[in-house]
C-alpha cells in the first residue's frame, strides 16, 4: 500500500470532476444556486475556459489517476450542444484520463430532454441522465416556476430511459400545504415511470430568493418541521417497499449499480475537481486536503482563466479538525456509514463512545465493527447527530 493510500481521505476513495454550467432558460423562485439567465449567450468562450481550467488542475495534481466520474450540473447543462459536452469530456480525458465505464452524468430539464439530441449526448460520452422533474402535479410545477408540465415530465423520463442505461429523477416535496395522501399518489405516479434512481429533496426556502421574500411578506407559509418529518418518513417507507431503498438521506436506487458514483465520492471522502463558475473542489496533494471555489461570475471566471490560466482563487489548506468534521458530516449520509477510525486518524482524538452508545440506544445509529451508520429514523436527525459527535 502506498503512503497516499493510507490517508483517511483522498482519491483512493474515488476521484471525480464536477462541471458547473451556470445558465438556465429561466430562474426558478426557490433556487439559490449560482445561476444566470441563459438569454442568447454564445457558450463557446465559457466552454473553452472550463476546458482550460481542467487542464490547469492537472498541472496542480500531476499524480492523480484517471477519473471515476464526471458530473455536468448547474444551472442547466442540458442547454449545451453535444459537441460542447464532447469538448469538455475530451479535455477531461486528455488531462486526467476517464476510466473505462466511468459514470458520466448530465443534469437535464424535461423540456430539453424532448428537444435535445440524446443520441448525440450519448455518443459524446454521457451515460447517465438526471432529469429535473420536480413534481408530477401541474399546480406544483406552476408554483415552483418550472417551464414544463407533468405530461412533459413523464414523456421526458420515458425518452431518457430509451437512450440511457441509468436515469435519475429529481423531485421536490414538503411543499407548502402539500397533503400526505396527495404526495402518496404522486409518488405512485413517479414510481410508475420505472426509473432506477430517485433524488428527493424537501423544499428549502432560502433567504434572498423570491420564495424567501414571499415568506417574509406572508405570501408563502413553509411546511412546519413536524409535518416535513412525517412526510420524510412516509417517503422512506413507500420507496423502501417499492424496491428503491434509500442509500443516502435523499437518494434512492433500485440496485447498487444505479447508485451515484459521483455523489458517493463526496460522501466517502474522495477527491473532486470543480470546474466552471462557482464550482467547489476538494483535492489531496502531498497528504494535505485543499478546498477551493472557482470565481462565481461567469465573465470573471472566463477572464481569469484567459489571463491567469485558471478560474479559481487561492486554495485553502484544511486543518485536521475541519477535515474530520467534513468526513463525519458527509460520511454519515450514505447508508454504508463511515469507519470512525478514519475520523479519529484525521482529528487525532477519539469520537465519544458514550454519545454513540446513547444514539444506538435511541435507535438513531448502528455501530458495528467501528462503522457508524444512521438508521432510517436517524436520517431525520443527520445534521443534529453530526453536530453532537463533532463537538
- Residues that bind ligand SF4 in the complex, under the rule CB under 6 A: 24, 27-28, 31, 33, 35, 74-76, 109, 132
Shortest approach of ligand SF4 to residue 132 CB, angstroms?
6
Q: Which helix (H) or strand (E) is 253 found in, with range?
A: strand 251-253
Nine-digit cell at 222? 413553509
Shortest approach of ligand SF4 to residue 97 CB, angstroms?
29
| Cβ atoms within 10 Å, residue 233 | 14
Of residues 76 and 260, the one with the C-beta less far from ligand SF4: 76
Of residues 109 and 260, the one with the C-beta less far from ligand SF4: 109
Of residues 115 and 349, the one with the C-beta less far from ligand SF4: 115
Of residues 24 and 261, the one with the C-beta less far from ligand SF4: 24
Of residues 8 and 74, the one with the C-beta less far from ligand SF4: 74
Shortest approach of ligand SF4 to residue 170 CB, angstroms?
9
Q: Which residues have C-beta within 8 Å of that of residue 174, sequence separation ≥ 6?
A: 202, 203, 223, 227, 228, 231, 232
Shortest approach of ligand SF4 to residue 142 CB, angstroms?
14
Of residues 134 and 386, the one with the C-beta less far from ligand SF4: 134
Cα 209 to Cα 145: distance, rounded to the nearest angstrom:
13
Shortest approach of ligand SF4 to residue 35 CB, angstroms?
5
Q: Which residues have C-beta within 8 Å of that of residue 105, sequence separation ≥ 6?
A: 69, 70, 71, 72, 73, 126, 127, 128, 129, 130, 168, 260, 262
Cα 78 to Cα 300: distance, rounded to the nearest angstrom:
23
- Concatenate the DSSP letters of all residues of 112-134 into one string: HHHHS-HHHHHHHT--EEEEEEE
Cα 112 to Cα 219: distance, rounded to the nearest angstrom:
31
Shortest approach of ligand SF4 to residue 322 CB, angstroms?
28
Of residues 130 and 347, the one with the C-beta less far from ligand SF4: 130
- Concatenate the DSSP letters of all residues of 329-366 into one string: HHHTSBTT-EEHHHHHHHHSS---HHHHHHHHHHTSEE
Shortest approach of ligand SF4 to residue 354 CB, angstroms?
42
Question: Which of 50, 43, 48, 63 shows the shortest CA–CA distance to 18?
Answer: 50
Amino acid at each position: 500500500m502506498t503512503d497516499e493510500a493510507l490517508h483517511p481521505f483522498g482519491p483512493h476513495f474515488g476521484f471525480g470532476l464536477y462541471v458547473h454550467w451556470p445558465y438556465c432558460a429561466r430562474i426558478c423562485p426557490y433556487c439559490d444556486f449560482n445561476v444566470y439567465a441563459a438569454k442568447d449567450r454564445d457558450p463557446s468562450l465559457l466552454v473553452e475556459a472550463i476546458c482550460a481550467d481542467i487542464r490547469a488542475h492537472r498541472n496542480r495534481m500531476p499524480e492523480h489517476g484517471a477519473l471515476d466520474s464526471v458530473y455536468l450540473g448547474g444551472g442547466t447543462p442540458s442547454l449545451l450542444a453535444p459537441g460542447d459536452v464532447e469538448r469538455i469530456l475530451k479535455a477531461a480525458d486528455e488531462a486526467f484520463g476517464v476510466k473505462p465505464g466511468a459514470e458520466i452524468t448530465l443534469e437535464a430539464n424535461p423540456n430539453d430532454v424532448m428537444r435535445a439530441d440524446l443520441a448525440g449526448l450519448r455518443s459524446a460520452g454521457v451515460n447517465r441522465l438526471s432529469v429535473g422533474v420536480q413534481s408530477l402535479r401541474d399546480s406544483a410545477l406552476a408554483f415552483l416556476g418550472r417551464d414544463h408540465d407533468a405530461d412533459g415530465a413523464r414523456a421526458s423520463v420515458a425518452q431518457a430511459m430509451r437512450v440511457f442505461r441509468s436515469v435519475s429523477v429529481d423531485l421536490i416535496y414538503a411543499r407548502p400545504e402539500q397533503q400526505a395522501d396527495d404526495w402518496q399518489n404522486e409518488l405512485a405516479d413517479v414510481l410508475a415511470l420505472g426509473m432506477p434512481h430517485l433524488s428527493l429533496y424537501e423544499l428549502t426556502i432560502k433567504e434572498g430568493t423570491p420564495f424567501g421574500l414571499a415568506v417574509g411578506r406572508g405570501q408563502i407559509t413553509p411546511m412546519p418541521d413536524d409535518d416535513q418529518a412525517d412526510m420524510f418518513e412516509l417517503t422512506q417507507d413507500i420507496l423502501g417497499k417499492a424496491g428503491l431503498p434509500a442509500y443516502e438521506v435523499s437518494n434512492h436506487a433500485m440496485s447498487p449499480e444505479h447508485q451515484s458514483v459521483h455523489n458517493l465520492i463526496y460522501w466517502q471522502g474522495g477527491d473532486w475537481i470543480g470546474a466552471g463558475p462557482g464550482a467547489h473542489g476538494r483535492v489531496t496533494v502531498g497528504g494535505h486536503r485543499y478546498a477551493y471555489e472557482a470565481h462565481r461570475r461567469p465573465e470573471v471566471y472566463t477572464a481569469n482563466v484567459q489571463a491567469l490560466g485558471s478560474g479559481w482563487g487561492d486554495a485553502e489548506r484544511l486543518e485536521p479538525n475541519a477535515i474530520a468534521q467534513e468526513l463525519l458530516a458527509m460520511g454519515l449520509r450514505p447508508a454504508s456509514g463511515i469507519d470512525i477510525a478514519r475520523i479519529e486518524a484525521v482529528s487525532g482524538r477519539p469520537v465519544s463512545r458514550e454519545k454513540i452508545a446513547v444514539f444506538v440506544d435511541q435507535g438513531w445509529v448502528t455501530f458495528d465493527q467501528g462503522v457508524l451508520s444512521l438508521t432510517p429514523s436517524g436520517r431525520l436527525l443527520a445534521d443534529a447527530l453530526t453536530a453532537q459527535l463533532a463537538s
